Structure 1
Amino acid sequence: MDDELNALRRTRMRWNTPLSEAHAELLLDRMALEAGQHLVDLGCGWGELLLRALARTPGLRATGVDTDLTGLDRGRAAARERGVAVDFAESDAATWAVPAERAFCIGAAHIFGSTEAALEGLTRVVPSGRLLYGDGFWAAPPNAAAEEIFGPDTLTLPDLLDVARAAGWRVLHFSTADQLEWDDFESTSRAGWQEWVAAHPADPRAAEVRDWLDGRLGQYVRDYRGVLGFTYLVLGR
Structure 2
Amino acid sequence: MDDELNALRRTRMRWNTPLSEPHADLLLDRMELAGGHLADLGCGWGELLLRALGRAPDLRGTGIDTDGTGLARGRAAACERGLQERVKWVEADAATWDVPAERAFCIGAAHIFGSTKAALEALTRVVLPSGRLLYGDGFWAAPPTPAAQEIFGPDLLALPDLLDAADAAGWRVLHLSTAGQLEWDDFESTSRAGWAEWLAAHPADPRAAAVREWLDRRLREYVRGYRGVLGFTYLVLGR
TM-score range, shorter chain: over 0.9
Give the equivalent residue in structure 2 for 1:215.
217
**Cα shift readout 1:2-53 (whole Å, capped 9, x = no counterpart):** 111000000000000000000000000000000x211000000000000000
Give the equivalent residue in structure 1 for 2:53.
54
TM-score normalised by length of structure 1: 0.99
How many angstroms apart in 2 are the aligned matches of 1:127 and 1:121? Answer: 12
Q: 5+ unaligned residues in a row in structure 2: which ranges?
A: none
**Cα shift readout 1:171-227 (whole Å, capped 9, x = no counterpart):** 000000000000000000000000000000110100110010000000000000000
How many angstroms apart in 2 are the aligned matches of 1:212 and 1:101? Answer: 40
Give the equivalent residue in structure 2 for 1:78.
77
**Cα shift readout 1:66-100 (whole Å, capped 9, x = no counterpart):** 01000000000000011003101111100001000
Give the equivalent residue in structure 2 for 1:139.
141
How many angstroms apart in 1 are the aligned matches of 2:154 and 2:63? Answer: 29
Q: 5+ unaligned residues in a row in structure 1: which ranges?
A: none
Give the equivalent residue in structure 2 for 1:25.
25
**Cα shift readout 1:83-118 (whole Å, capped 9, x = no counterpart):** 003101111100001000100000000000000000
How many angstroms apart in 1 are the aligned matches of 2:172 and 2:36? Answer: 20
How many angstroms apart in 1 are the aligned matches of 2:217 and 2:61? Answer: 38
Equivalent in 185, 196, 221 of residue 183 of structure 1: 185
How many angstroms apart in 1 are the aligned matches of 2:87 and 2:204? Answer: 41
How many angstroms apart in 2 are the aligned matches of 1:54 and 1:99? Answer: 18
How many aligned positions are there? Answer: 236
Q: Secondary structure at the match of 1:27?
A: helix
1:1-237 equivalences in 2 (<5 Å): 1-34=1-34, 36-84=35-83, 85-128=86-129, 129-237=131-239
How many angstroms apart in 2 are the aligned matches of 1:50 and 1:6? Answer: 22
Report deviation, 1:127: 3.0
Which AA in structure 1 matches 2:109?
A: A
TM-score normalised by length of structure 2: 0.98
Q: Secondary structure at the match of 1:101?
A: strand
Report deviation, 1:123: 0.2
How many angstroms apart in 2 are the aligned matches of 1:62 and 1:15? Answer: 17
Computed over aligned residues only, the root mean square deviation of the Cα atoms, in angstroms, reads 0.5
Identity of aligned residues (%): 82
Which AA in structure 1 matches 2:176?
A: F
If each structure's strand is expressed as a fraction of its own residues, which one has the higher value?
2
Q: Secondary structure at the match of 1:14?
A: coil
